[in-house]
Structure 1
Amino acid sequence: MPKEAFNVGFETANYHRPIQGDASTVFKAREQEIRNNLLRYLGEYRLAVKFDEFYYQQGIDFFGQRYIRAEEDNPIREKFKNAIRQKEAGGLSSKREVAECLGFEKIEQRFLQGDDFLFLWISPPGRKEDGYGDYSFNFLGEVKDRKVRVIPYRNELSMQKHKEIAGMFSNERFETDIDFLAHPIFIEKSEDTNSAEDILISIGEKEAVDTSWRNKLETRLASLIDIFINAVKSNTPESELKRIKRAIENFTIEEKTQISLGEFKPVNFGTKYLVDKYGSYAPPVVGGSCGSSSSKSDTLMDFQSKLNLGNDKYGERTFECPECGKTNVRPKDELLKNCQHCNSSKVAC
């Protein structure tokens, strides 16, 4: 995940973008999305929680096209595409973002077939110089009755261990973080493996899934989170939003032990005092990690259309390797000497 993992400017732009459907329902969903984004960010970056949980479901657009959505009725895949555009607009490499987008589209395509299944999507950390931490996320997915339950499992497993885990469920060859991100592993349900928790047990994790931290965190930060959401709704200048965010982060850091235990000492000061006190200095910088594709039958034009990446000065950016048949995605305005999957030089262009 990039260093600016929670971008206050994005939250404002996302909340105030054009709406479709009932305004009251849409804005309520967007408020909840801000709350969820903030809690997940704090859970990963400031509390270092091991487990989280969230849900997706099916959406249908005006033309009858189906897709995966969250609270608001918009395709989740658009967020992955936006992440690519933002990276490239900043002149940064978007290799991981492209791989995530391809991987998510594979999950979405399987989901739209209508059957129940499990999946394991491994997200090893990227380069430290790009702001990534030392830990990975394994996303354990459970699809049932057209709903997707996802458990992000934070761990510090080595790349070799990730390969061994992948080998338990797939014959696919995984070498790099890009390989894992672009190729989620689909697991058929069985008597022994019927839930996300069963996958967790299979890969050797002994600790049970516990997401009670979320309610504890939200309870402790309720007034500060409400102030941030109201500031986003009222189009407050970004400088003030950043100050409120700093206050939320620094207060979370100071209260980390109490939040974990769920034992809160009374706060005898108003929320404005907390923002003034804790928003006056920057919290420590920490790295992080977070964790999208089409089937082989898709053509290059299909990839271009779905990802909306457009051509660069060298032409099309996606193509199949003649050696292994897997799809390569060129970084913008760069050429490849070797296949991103099998290292074959036959892709040289």
Structure 2
Amino acid sequence: MRLEAYTVGFDPRNYHAPIPDNYSQEEILERRKANIRENIIRYLGEYRLGVKYDEFHYNFEQDAESGDFFLSSPHADPGPILNIYRKAISYKEERGLPIDREVAECLGFQKLQEGLADAQEGTLILWVSPPGPKADGYGDHSFTFIGQVVKDPEGEKRLRIIPYRNVLSLEEHKEYLKYFNKDAQFFNKDTHFLANPVIIEQSEAIQTPDDIISFIGETERFNIEWRNKLTPLIMPLIGGFIQLVREKASNGELNRTRNAIENYVISIRPHLLNQETTERNNINIEQTDVIFDKFGREAPPIAYGSCGSSATTLMEFHENSEKNWEYSHGDCVVCGEKNTMVGPCKICKSCEKTFDKQDSLQLKSA
């Protein structure tokens, strides 16, 4: 069972991983520090503040050799985000844990990436991520990822994504999703939603992510003021945590530091959510040790994970799914077959068909 939504052991492992070829150590380590900062802030917003909205972006890129389109993150190591999904499958498989959810996420993200390859500015996406089984440590809330292709200040396309946190049931998700994907009426488990993102062309009624949020029935408007208030207040604390990661501190030290950050944020939650008017000054370097000592002594309440490795499911479900991505020789991360033809998620054709067949039969019987 996954007891904690944020596991500190991943941070030093990722930070000290080998530097990719053709990149400087300085550039990669700066990316990895930024990734830790973003992960902590996003985690605090979701699990300690309980906010409904956040925002992040993916870049549109092309492989220099093959010319293939892929989505990348400005805070992760260079390369396709799809690599993160592959690693999530391998990580759980190596530990003998169920991988159905991770496979669905990976295939769903691949569909999303393929569908956005030639997308025009304004194109929208919708991807529903219900919680997994409670037996695996998941909580009660879902994420509905709503995105739109936009232009950055340099005129380059990128994907703006709003994670909308909610407690909608599977039936409630189906009610709005079937407007964009008729097959959603048959979805009855988390993997059905994860494997099937939707790409939406703008219409008179649906022009922006706000329009989709309203269509779902949410009355609270998009707002990330919490992030603007939280970030400057805790940057020195996050900096202290990152320094421990750089020094390869023990998990015990990392956990105490994480506890302090979480407990401190819980203590100022009313301020961050505009429930009190008291002004708070940013923390200076001298105060960080005091906060780490005062707030790091006890663990905060357990935060259960409600989302898988990602972000992030958006295209019509095809009962007889004909994948249009390319295959190459490799080892299947699901069945372990060596030197076989695998797709971008490192899953062989046989395992892809098995996954599709299982979901297809379940949808037919619904």
Query: What TM-score bracket applies, with the shorter chain setting the length?
Result: 0.7 to 0.9
Q: Which of 87, 94, 98 is matched with 1:89 structurally? A: 94
Matched, 1:34 2:60: no
Q: Which of 275, 284, 294 is matched with 2:301 structurally? A: 284
Deviations 1:206-241 (A, max 9, x none): 211001111211122121111011222232222211
Deviations 1:123-181 (A, max 9, x none): 11112221111111100011235310110111111211111111111112322111000
Q: Which of 148, 154, 163 is matched with 1:152 structurally? A: 163
Matched, 1:66 2:53: no
Matched, 1:297 2:303: no
Aligned pairs for 1:235-246 (under 5 A) are 235-246=248-259
- Following TM superposition, by how much is the alpha carbon of 1:340 offset from its aligned partner in structure 2, in angstroms? 2.5
CA, structure 1 residues 302+133, in 2 after alignment: closer, same or farther (shift >3 Å)? same
Per the alignment, residue 154 of structure 2 pairs with none
- Following TM superposition, by how much is the alpha carbon of 1:301 offset from its aligned partner in structure 2, in angstroms? 8.7
SS of residue in 2 equivalent to 1:286 = coil
Deviations 1:223-273 (A, max 9, x none): 111101122223222221121111111111122112222744467972112
Matched, 1:178 2:191: yes
- Following TM superposition, by how much is the alpha carbon of 1:199 offset from its aligned partner in structure 2, in angstroms? 1.0
CA, structure 1 residues 114+212, in 2 after alignment: closer, same or farther (shift >3 Å)? same
More deviation, 33-42/267-276: 267-276
TM-score by length of 1: 0.85
**Runs (5+) with no aligned partner, structure 1:** 331-337
TM-score by length of 2: 0.81
Per the alignment, residue 230 of structure 1 pairs with 243
- Following TM superposition, by how much is the alpha carbon of 1:320 offset from its aligned partner in structure 2, in angstroms? 7.5
- Following TM superposition, by how much is the alpha carbon of 1:275 offset from its aligned partner in structure 2, in angstroms? 1.2
Q: Is contact 1:182-1:292 (8 Å) kept?
A: no
CA, structure 1 residues 137+304, in 2 after alignment: closer, same or farther (shift >3 Å)? farther
Deviations 1:8-51 (A, max 9, x none): 22222222221342333332222111100000111111111100
CA, structure 1 residues 150+328, in 2 after alignment: closer, same or farther (shift >3 Å)? farther
> What is the rounded CA distance, in whole Å, between the counterparts of 1:32 and 1:300 in structure 2?
31
> What is the rounded CA distance, in whole Å, between the counterparts of 1:23 and 1:59 in structure 2?
22
Matched, 1:4 2:4: yes
> What is the rounded CA distance, in whole Å, between the counterparts of 1:257 and 1:7 in structure 2?
26
SS of residue in 2 equivalent to 1:154 = strand
SS of residue in 1 equivalent to 2:178 = helix
Q: Is contact 1:106-1:292 (8 Å) kept?
A: no
More deviation, 12-21/165-174: 12-21
Per the alignment, residue 127 of structure 1 pairs with 133
**Runs (5+) with no aligned partner, structure 2:** 152-156
Per the alignment, residue 335 of structure 1 pairs with none
Q: Is contact 2:257-2:292 (8 Å) kept?
A: yes
SS of residue in 2 equivalent to 1:108 = helix
- RMSD (CA atoms): 3.1
The letter for the 2-side match of 1:6 is Y
Q: Is contact 1:81-1:308 (8 Å) kept?
A: no
The letter for the 2-side match of 1:253 is I
Q: Is contact 2:4-2:304 (8 Å) kept?
A: no
- Aligned length in residues: 333
Deviations 1:173-209 (A, max 9, x none): 3221110000011211123212211111122212110
SS of residue in 2 equivalent to 1:168 = coil
> What is the rounded CA distance, in whole Å, between the counterparts of 1:220 and 1:42 in structure 2?
13
- Following TM superposition, by how much is the alpha carbon of 1:274 offset from its aligned partner in structure 2, in angstroms? 1.5
Aligned identity (percent) is 37
More deviation, 261-270/9-18: 261-270
Q: Which runs of 4+ in 1 moved over 4 A?
A: 264-269, 291-295, 315-321
Q: Is contact 1:77-1:104 (8 Å) kept?
A: yes
